[in-house]
Structure 1
Amino acid sequence: MSAPPRSASSDRSRDTRSVQQTDRPPLTERERRILQLVVQHFIDTAGPVGSRSLARQFDIGLSPASIRNTMADLEDMGYLDHPYTSAGRMPTQMGYRTFVDELMQAPKLSDAERQVLKMQLAQLVSDTDEMLRESTKLLSKLSNLLGVALSPRLSTGVLERLDIVPLTGPRLLFVLNVSGGLVKTIVLDFEADVDRSDLDRIVSMLNERLAGLTLAEIRDTHEERVRDLDDSTGIVDLMQAEATPLFSEPQQGRLQLGGARNLLNQPEFQETDDIRHFFELLEDEALLIDLLENLCTTPDAAGNTYVRIGSGNDDDEMASYSIVVSPYRMGSTVGTLGLMGPTRMNYPRAVALVQTMADVLNRSNGDDSSGDTAL
């Protein structure tokens, strides 16, 4: 088998928080080629890679002794490691990082796989939560990794319409329709009886003053915007008193995880302790939300795909895992979609899956922008 071609990835945009090339020892062309093959072989087999197996599998014009010497040099520079004496080599996190930044082939899905993603999501455009749940399941099924999705921050969304619906008992249902098909509902206690005509009048006035603003703008400036409204029902006073919960993020429900069972197919999750640690990590919703949001906060985040490897996640709990994410748009809001798994993951396929899924979501929501890969 001949060696795969090098990826011409140097012109792709870079995430500024990635380890930069100047932080790594420079590599010769031979060293780059051997590192690429070791990483690819280890991703495929999950076993340490020996010089003889590389010489047999790939027609690279080098003897096992030459390959072994090159691998030893790569280990001395920190790109490779070996798990025990006389074993073959395996990539370090720096080896994976260099592979993703410089050596892996340009990620691409087949036309058939792209069509499957589009068809699976086509019927779910009107249901945002279901679309995200299905997206994570599809990503996991096609990668044997964990699918993750974070719905957009509602406070950044533009209010299209506010509706208020009387419920049985002393309660009102506030329905906030936000650009991109997002909806927030909240039930508030309200003792007074309100005629339908009065309610419709108040709702109309509130929409005249508030529609077209982001929820954050409404939360911060509602007093000056509605203080002069003629309201004897008390609804405007209720809205002002409850503005923080009304126009802020929901406390729960933003994070979607799909296909955790598929990770059990990975060799890294065969031991009970490894499985327990990973699922304990998944229970820390605040950590995962913070991680997903921080990965896509750069000004040019939209349309890019980001990769974090092991300790590059800046959190000790994530030191053994990698995550591939891409932002997606829903109207004026931005969410995050991705895959999470062990550092030994098929990075080209993970990037291709995440980038394609984000593109499908963007087009489903009327955004025709296409993605690049920022690693």
Structure 2
Amino acid sequence: MRLSFSSDHQGLREEFEHVFAAEATSARARAGASSPEGWDRALWRQLSELGWLGVTASEAHGGLGQDPLALCLIAEAFGQRLAAIPFLGAALGFADALLTIGDRSLSDALAPGVVAGEVIGALAIPEHFTALDIDDGHASGACPALMDAAATTHILTLAGAGSDAQLILLDVTAAHRERIDSLDRVNLAWAVTFDRAPSRTLARGETASDLWRTLRARYATFMSFVQIGAASAALDMARDHVIQRYAFGRPLGSFQAVKHELADVLAAIEIARSNAWFAAAALNEGGSALAQAGAAARVSATDAHRLAARANVHLHGGLGVTAESDAHLHYRRAQALGLVIGPSSVWRERLIAELVAARAVAPAAPQLPRTGS
């Protein structure tokens, strides 16, 4: 697999970074999360006006018409900043799902709203629901903890299994939602309850299950880039602190133990980045390699993000755990992002299963012949 970047890719990333760095400040993220709405609607509107909510959406739908590689670059740049907006689920997961599903009527109906920031979708794994009943074009159920669900209008999920599986699109515009005590203090979680919400079955049986696995692997790939960007931001924050902070008459960063801790974080990030770009290449080319590559990217990015966030808090000392410091916000974010589409343990199991299926690892230790006593 090969990756090919154009000047358009680089220019797009630089433009997004320029806009996002100026607008997505820590103070603004805190203010948005603590507002009555629980998110930064003004920033969301700004991004929609600039076309950043429809990077891969077709130009006919008002989008930028870019390929998935462009979305990976934008995802990493997004991860480098704290922002109280539903970019992760809506502009990455849901927007990509509309294209991948390939239903022309569905895209025509929803994609323009996604680009305009009016349709705010989310992908929710089946384990997120405590109840989900589908009946004659309507659904009732509850999702007790969904990130960035303050203004979610649609949820895409898989209901059932095997021949009974259904890929379901829920319209939760009128759902009841309640803010809960969130692990992430910027991208808040909400309990969403709906009764006879309009639902649409997009696929059934094995077709639905296969399509969901593809959507999940694609989302995991985009998520890994967000985590790599966030890990890099935490590493930069820790590095800047140990350069400026003095102890025993020397910068903290001059001590060998500190250097080694930061070097370990950098190594983990670069390993994750390699896995993420391999997954991006698989995503761009299509085919069965994405399932394995996406799982590897997700596992390594989660590990790197958590390691970077933990080191950042550690090297800030007591300051790192105070509410005034952004270090604890990065730490909380690392824990929360590691759970959004299933914990790391689940993705490790998927990776092992893919490797075994591809005969890349032995399913069991070989049985050696017994020798006579």
TM-score range, shorter chain: under 0.3
Larger helix proportion of the pair: 2
Structure ranking higher on relative contact order (CA contacts 8 Å, 6+ apart): 1
TM normalised by structure 2 equals: 0.27
TM-score when normalising by structure 1: 0.27
